[in-house]
Amino acid sequence: MLVMPGMALAADVGGTEYCPNTNGTIYAHVLHLNGTPANSATVNLTLWASNGTKILDDVGMTHIAGSNGGYQYNFTTPATEGVYFIDVVTTNPAGYGADEIHVSNYSCINATIGNVTANISASAIWGENITGYTDTTTFGGILNEFLGGGNMALMGMIGLCAFLMIAGFWRKSQAIMWVAGLSWIGFAFWQRSLTPGWGTWDLHEMLFYIGFLMTIVCIVEAVMIYRETQPVKEKGVTVKLTSAERYQKTMADVRNRAREFKKQ
């Protein structure tokens, strides 16, 4: 609080902490030089930003009914974080007063003790707004939605793709593996459609790359299963061999050729 010498103002101008774009109130306490309250003064205030811009320009403050020289002004706090200067001028009596307000996301705390509830802004941590984890373009919002926000579609799709992939490996089924690959590529491009942009590295973009990688794994495995099940021609007869049987046959051929080489 600043009081200019010789003026009939003793002002306690209400500097405090505010959240951006919320309702706030600035207070002033005006007294005559003899210490008695000035209940009929004309009190105007100007709110300055640090760059010299006037946020509020010489607006009138209202006397608080029943108070001893108390005045107030209700306003909406600036959207930009920073320290703002309050300049108060009074007439009848004449005087000046000053203080400051701080606008910061760290101040966004709204707690109701009776219901043991609290709403704390997470802007500095996740980029969320004060209403909670609702912005699904941010990591905090997506993580909250994925773990507890009821996004059953996302979890169900991951479970389906993983089940098909495991079943294809277990059954050595080329058909199931191709279906798993198609499921993973569909999942990947679904996540891509939810990503706000390349390079944001939100959860959707990371899941896109995971889905794309799983698609490649399924395709490679499907090709390997296909090659293992191809028939082998032996002395004009087509014989279907498993991978283990193919290995045993190859080793037997190597041993036979080694014996023929020693006989020579």
63 and 7 housed in the same domain: yes
Q: Are 66 and 55 in contact (CB under 8 A)?
A: no
Cβ partners under 8 Å of residue 179, min gap 6: 164, 168
Residue 205 backbone dihedrals phi, psi, to 5 degrees: -70, -40
Domain housing 143: 108-147
224 and 243 housed in the same domain: no
Joined together, the tokens standing for residue 14 give 């209400």
3-state SS string for the chain: CEECCCCCCCCCCCCCEECCCCEEEEEEECECCCCCECCCCEEEEEEECCCCCEEEEEEECEECCCCCCEEEEEEECCCCCEEEEEEEEEECCCEEEEEEEEECHHHCEEEECCCCEEEECCHHHHCCECCECCCCCCHHHHHHHHHHCCCHHHHHHHHHHHHHHHHHHHHCCHHHHHHHHHHHHHHHHHHHHHCCCCCCCCHHHHHHHHHHHHHHHHHHHHHHHHHHCCEEEECCEEEECCHHHHHHHHHHHHHHHHHHHHHC
Q: Are 205 and 171 in contact (CB under 8 A)?
A: no
**pLDDT for residue 24:** 84
**pLDDT for residue 46:** 93
pLDDT bin (cut points 50, 70, 90) of residue 159 is confident
Higher pLDDT, 60 or 4: 60
**pLDDT for residue 54:** 93
Higher pLDDT, 258 or 209: 209
Residue 68 backbone dihedrals phi, psi, to 5 degrees: -100, 80
Joined together, the tokens standing for residue 242 give 């498993």
Mean pLDDT check: name the lowest of 8-12, 19-23, 172-176. 8-12
Question: What's this model's pTM, rounded to 2 decimal places?
Answer: 0.40
CATH number at residue 12: 2.60.40.10
**pLDDT for residue 203:** 76
**pLDDT for residue 239:** 58
6 and 102 housed in the same domain: yes
48 and 128 housed in the same domain: no
**Averaged pLDDT, 114-136:** 43
pLDDT at 99 over 80: yes
Give the pLDDT confidence of 43-87 residue by residue, as tens digits: 999 999 988 899 999 999 999 999 999 999 999 888 888 889 999
Q: Provide the pairing of β-strand 82-91 with 95-103.
A: antiparallel
**pLDDT for residue 7:** 39
Q: Are 55 and 84 in contact (CB under 8 A)?
A: yes
**pLDDT for residue 120:** 42
**Averaged pLDDT, 203-224:** 87
Kindly report the number of other CB atoms within 10 A of residue 134's CB atom. Answer: 14
Query: How many domains does the structure of the chain reveal?
Result: 4
Residue at a domain's end among 49, 81, 106: 106
8 and 87 housed in the same domain: yes
**pLDDT for residue 145:** 55
Joined together, the tokens standing for residue 95 give 């005087």
**pLDDT for residue 124:** 42
167 and 190 housed in the same domain: yes
Residue at a domain's end among 80, 106, 132: 106
183 and 197 housed in the same domain: yes
pLDDT at 28 over 80: yes
Place of tokens 């193919």: 246
213 and 165 housed in the same domain: yes
pLDDT at 127 over 90: no
Query: Residue 73 and residue 64: Cα distance in Å, rounded?
Result: 10
116 and 186 housed in the same domain: no
With pLDDT > 90 as the criterion, what percentage of the chain qualifies? Answer: 16
235 and 180 housed in the same domain: no
9 and 97 housed in the same domain: yes
96 and 41 housed in the same domain: yes
